[in-house]
Amino acid sequence: MRMGWGNTYRRRMRVFTMAVVIYLDYKALQQREKWASSAKKSALWERAHERNARRVHNLIIELEGLWVKFGQYLSTRADVLPEAYISRLKQLQDSLPPRPLQEVCRTIETELGKSMDDLFSDFVKVPLATASIAQVHRATLLDGQEVVVKVQHEGIKTIILEDLKNAKAIVDWIAWAEPQYDFNPMIDEWCKEAPKELDFNHEAENTRTVSRNLRCKNTGHDDNTNANRVDVLIPDVIQSAEKVLILEYMDGIRLNDLDALEAFGVDKKKLVEEITRAYAHQIYVDGFFNGDPHPGNFLVSKEPPHRPILLDFGLTKKLSISVKQALAKMFLASAEGDHAALLSAFSEMGLKLRLDMPEQAMEVTTVFFRTSTSAKESLETIKSLNEKRTKNMKVIQERMKLKPKEVKRFNPVDAFPGDIVIFSRVLNLLRGLSSLMNVRIVYLDIMRPFAESVLQGNISRGPRVNDQWIYDTPVHSDVEAKLRQFLVELGNNDKILGIQVCAYKDGEVIIDTAAGMLGRYDPRPVQPDSLFPVFSATKAITAGMLHWLVDKGKLTLEENVANIWPEFGSNRKDLIKVHHVLNHTSGLHNALSDLLRENPLQMSDWDECLNRIAVSVPESEPGQEQLYHYLSYGWLCGGIIEHASGKKFQEILEESFIHPLQIEGELYIGIPPGKCVESRLATLTLDKDDFQKLSGISNRPDMPSTFQPGDISQVITTLPVVFNMLNIRRAIIPAANGHCSARALARYYAALADGGMVPRPHSSSSKPPLGSHPHIPKFSSSQNVSKRRKGCKSKEESAVSINRTNESEEIPNYGDVSHRRNTSGDGSTKLVNDSSNSNSNRISTTDCEDSNPQNNSVVRIFSNPRIHEAFLGVGEYENLALPNSAFGLGFRRTKSKEGSLLGFGHSGMGGSTGFADMNNRFAIAVTLNKMSIGSVTGNIINFVCSELNIPVPAEFSRFSEMGADAESSFGRPLIN
């Protein structure tokens, strides 16, 4: 049956009959192979592939039209389809039976309005190629120019549109019969885009646009300084009409002519890499790309350097700036293993998932951009991917509690944007092309520079070219205005990617500034409510929780940990007391160090880490040597907190600080799932220049043997990758996984600076208001812990403990706001006015039962009047801390240059820091996402303290001015 013959009904019946025959053939084979031996199974499948490939090929030749294009696409998928299909369908890339010359001439004369003699001095009757929509003849214009003439087949438009309907019906049927193979998003986009190929005026304009974008006529190569320049050829458009297109003739070798490529000495790997670079440029730089890169649409120039010749721009796709950036972000998030950025990219491009499974989403995307392999290797890869898919579906089945039949019909994608369909088709065609040419292409390396240019060209050159680099919030003080200018200087010197600084003085906010962007590849601006990973700055929050339980009479600082946590008493740990843990003198400084070397992902298993701590062996006697417990500290404190309180770690965090300080939604240790949180996450990156200085820093005696500068320099490059992973961000790692805004962390320190007094409500001019985000109070990560073994202390016992309450102390009442809270039925906590309690001056002492602290007016979060001494390990607590050591009880002691005690705080790996000066009622927090060894943070704190004329902490005072000299003299990085 020739194309155009027969009626619509007959074509449709042929297609559907063949689809059913092939489907039933494979279903029957699945039953037969159950009784076949292993040796026979392979032969059975090979014969089935051969006969069905022959059926598909013969039907395509019979029907032509759109089915030829479909067959050409399948012929490039050597990475997916069996060899029998590839060898058969490759024949469609060469040529189809030509249309009669009389028909061709008639179309040319009708479309161009001139006779053949008035158009050409010579017209070659035998076509160069015949394709699904048109055929191409070589010709010579009257002026002697060599051209090719592309002429559309008569009646093809009607047939193509009918074929699209048939293809859509088949896809619908397959999706019904085998729901895991739902190709509707692809066919829907194809139905929308394919008819555009039928207008050659459209193709002519596309050709000119792509040629201009790729600067194909820039023969002088004067743009050689552009690293993303591509070296390809595209024929000039001479003339066009709806059904006729005349192009410049370019002599070239077809890609499937492997013998000719070999004879001309063509480097096939370099050729495919350059084609891939051309498409990366079209997609990421131009946002306008050819959607049909099958082998028939390429030639290779015969003259060195054998450049690719790009043909046929009928099917193109134009991307909006936002989608282009989202695609770039998706690619780079996949390359960096950044789950939060990946999910953010999905959201920006309109891809919606039905499940919260970031690890599986990352796995699928990574597969999408995987390195190409040869056809033989690809079949093994596909087998492996199918096994992973089966495993993932089992996870989905368990999580969704689906029955086996329901799993088969479950689609984890809720919405698939059309823009992604053509994009994914291009990547699949390119992958098939590399398999066909039997070359290995590393897509991540080739495409990364183009994807980076999309985002970096738009956002990442700092304040010098971005007048919105400082987020637009009110200035609270003169010092904040000056600080913003200082931050601009640091940003222009490429020392800041994204940052927040918040400071309190005398209980009032004097600085609340956000600047930069959320990540190296995330163009969104840092806002006051953005959440930064602060690493070991988390330890100060965990320590505060433990002090809070001591203050509430749940335990004492002098108790043996084994008395609280019985499993902990093994392996000579029965003499370790609570204050030893807080003072970093328990001897467990290297406990869990193997996690970072063996498998950092084990940090996300709360129960496993607690169990490891329980069976760990100390390396020194408790209280004898202070060595920084860089990783073990969090689980030591966490285990004590849960066993002493009988509650989960997260519950105590909320009860002790989140709710009283009104910082809901902006301070987490282990973030909860959900877009409200994930969309505000900053992404970590490294200041590589800064961390190179670690190699020149000698070992530090105050650090454990597994956490010396040399060790840090070896693992530092992996930390952003690990801690950008969403499953790690969600883990409870109380030593290193705090996520907070600077304003939440500063408010915490402001309360501590005032002995636990809750500051006035945070500035109402800050948008969104602090504490306004929905808070998710329920977590399932940590174990259910039993009530404390002895029962809690009575109020009388608490009164005579070392943390006694001074009943006569007067506590000021702000009077202008009530801190009374009411818990609604949905679990969210809301502020309510209650003037009857406006004179209450302290939080009521809680006993062991689950009294509701939200029903008590909160002015203080600590009742102990000497809580500062407890934090610092001085005064009445002096015998609980190692003399003259860097750490008190949970906090780093901060001294002036002269050696006097100023306050306390804690820094994290990378520079995020919180600090309180109780003498001057000053608190400051700095959060940042470009990890350094502390130079930026040191400069900022030095600057602010100097402007306020208050003592500069010694560890920051060396940063008296910004510059290389100040940084090079910094011998003690802020790694704790």
pLDDT at position 432 is 76
Residue 127: asked if its preceding bond is cis (omega within 30°), the reply is: no
Q: Is the pLDDT of residue 833 over 50?
A: no
Q: What is the pLDDT of residue 13?
A: 81
Average pLDDT on 111-126 reads 96
532 vs 815: CA distance, rounded Å: 33
Whether residue 358 is predicted with pLDDT greater than 70 in this model: the reply is no
Does the pLDDT at position 622 exceed 70?
Answer: yes
The pLDDT mean for the chain works out to: 79
Q: Please check the confidence at residue 451 and state whether its pLDDT lies above 90.
A: no
In this structure, what token pair is assigned to residue 614? 């329980």
Phi, psi values for residue 629, rounded to 5°: -85, 80
**Which are the contacts of 588, defined by CB distance < 8 A and separation ≥ 6?**
573, 576, 613, 616, 618, 619, 629, 632, 636
Taken in order 574, 577, 580, 581, the sign of the CA dihedral is positive
Structure tokens at 634: 């969090």
| pLDDT digit string, tens, across residues 430-439 | 877 887 788 8
Residue 629 contacts residue 736 (beta carbons within 8 Å): no
Mean pLDDT of 94-105: 84
DSSP states of 918-936: TTTTEEEEEEESEEBSSHH
Q: Using 50, 70 and 90 to split pLDDT, how confident is the model at 245?
A: very high
DSSP state at residue 591? T
Q: Which of 163, 292, 338, 711 is catalytic?
A: 292
pLDDT in tens, 290-302: 887 778 789 999 9
Mean pLDDT highest for which of 294-303, 379-388, 463-472, 481-490? 481-490
pLDDT digits (tens, 9 = 90+) for 153-162: 998 888 877 7
Per-residue pLDDT reduced to its tens digit, 172-226:
777 676 665 666 666 666 667 677 788 999 999 999 999 999 988 654 444 444 6
In this predicted structure, the answer to whether residue 822 has a pLDDT above a threshold of 60 is: no
C-alpha separations of 42 from 31, 45, 77, 199, 411 in Å = 14, 5, 21, 46, 30
Q: In this structure, are residues 871 and 520 in contact, taking their beta carbons and an 8 Å threshold? A: no
Supply the pLDDT for residue 370.
59
Q: Please give the average per-residue pLDDT across 473-486, as a whole number.
A: 95
CA distance 692 to 716: 10
Neighbours of 605 (CB within 10 A): 15
pLDDT of residue 427: 80
Please name the residues in contact with 70: beta carbons below 8 A apart, sequence gap of 6 or more.
60, 167
Give the pLDDT score at 342: 76
From the list 759, 783, 755, 757, the residue with the least C-alpha distance to 771 is 759
Q: What is the DSSP code string of 450-502? A: HHHHHHHHHH-SGGGS-TTSB------SHHHHHHHHHHHHHHHTT--SEEEEE
> Could you tell me which of 74, 76, 79 has the C-alpha nearest to residue 52?
74
Q: What is the DSSP letter of 681?
A: B
pTM above threshold 0.85: no
Q: How far apart are CA 42 and CA 21, in angstroms?
A: 21
Amino acid at 151: V
Share of the chain above pLDDT 70, in %: 72
User: Are residues 578 and 640 in contact, defined by beta-carbon separation less than 8 angstroms?
Assistant: yes
Sign of CA dihedral 53, 57, 62, 68: positive
pLDDT, mean of residues 83-110: 82
Stretch 314-341: mean pLDDT, rounded? 82
Asked if the model's pLDDT at residue 908 lies above 80, the reply is: yes
In this prediction, residues 501-516 reach a mean pLDDT of 96
Which of 170, 191, 175 has the alpha carbon at shortest distance from 14?
170
Provide the pLDDT confidence category of residue 914 given band limits of 50, 70 and 90. Answer: very high
User: Running DSSP on this structure, what letter comes out for residue 320?
Assistant: -
pLDDT for 593 equals 80
What is the percent of the chain with per-residue pLDDT over 90, rounded to a whole number? 42
Residues 719-773: pLDDT tens digits? Answer: 787 888 888 898 999 999 999 999 999 999 999 999 999 998 887 677 789 988 8
574 is catalytic: no
Nearest-CA neighbor of 487 among 943, 175, 806, 103?
943
pLDDT at 909 (0 to 100): 84
Question: Can you tell me the distance from the alpha carbon of 234 to that of 335, in angstroms, rounded to the nearest whole number?
Answer: 31
Nearest-5° Cα angle at 31, 29 to 35: 105
Q: pLDDT digits over 643-669, tens only? A: 999 999 999 999 999 999 999 999 999
Query: In 3-state terms, what secondary structure has residue 763?
Result: coil
In the block, which residue shows the tokens 């003499």? 575
For the chain, list the domains and their CATH numbers. 101-154 (no CATH), 478-769+862-958 (3.40.710.10)
The whole-angstrom separation of Cα 883 and Cα 890 is 15
- Judged by average pLDDT, the poorest of 146-150, 259-263, 740-744 is 259-263
> Is the model's pLDDT at 546 over the cut of 90?
yes
Q: Which region among 145-149, 369-373, 831-835, 903-907 has the lowest average model confidence (pLDDT)?
A: 831-835
The number of angstroms, rounded, from the C-alpha of 340 to the middle of its chain's C-alpha atoms is: 4
